Structure 1
Amino acid sequence: MVQPNFEDVVKAIATDTNTPTETVSKMYAETWAEYSDGARIMDYLTVLVTKRVRENLRGVSQDRH
């Protein structure tokens, strides 16, 4: 199952976190696969995955400073 706004979400995260789109796309796909594996309710998966990717990217950027 592919979310309808995958590209929009990836672009927004990339812009907000100043991270290349390719990096965000890969992280999002990996996180989506991890979260959706065995999930029965998919309604909030986009929100949860988006939140996790943002948190991970913020953690990475804070480690650099």
Structure 2
Amino acid sequence: MADLNFEDVVKAIASDTNTPTETVSRMYAETWAQYSDGARVLDYLTVLVAKRVRENLRGVSQDRH
């Protein structure tokens, strides 16, 4: 499995959720900071952070309907 970098993850989430990349980038950075604070193992952090951002964005879009 190829390592995903920040930009690739942000672009994928933005595309999947029809959200501006700037918004996704900010949310991803904030979530990364929360999850990585004090974390000793960072191996799966990209996956966990991406999942949380997607969930948050889906929750926002559902709240609008």
TM-score scaled to structure 1, two decimals? 0.94
1:62 aligns with 2:56: no
Match of 2:18 in 1: 18
Question: What's the Cα RMSD here?
Answer: 1.2
The aligned runs of 1:1-65 (5 Å cut-off) are: 5-65=5-65
- Aligned residue pairs: how many? 63
Letter matched to residue 53 of structure 1 = V
- Give the residue type in structure 2 aligned to 1:17: T
- C-alpha distance in structure 2 between counterparts of 1:51 and 1:8, whole Å: 14
Unaligned runs of 5+ in 1: none
Matched-pair identity in %: 87
| Equivalent-residue separation in structure 1 for 2:10 and 2:51 (angstroms) | 12
Residue 31 of structure 1 and its aligned partner are, at CA, apart by 0.1
**1:42, 1:5 → 2: CA distance?**
14
Per-residue Cα deviation, 1:17-44 (whole angstroms, up to 9, x for no partner): 0000000000000000000000000000
How many angstroms apart in 2 are the aligned matches of 1:4 and 1:52? 16
Distance in 2 separating the partners of 1:48 and 1:4 = 13
State TM-score, norm by structure 2: 0.94
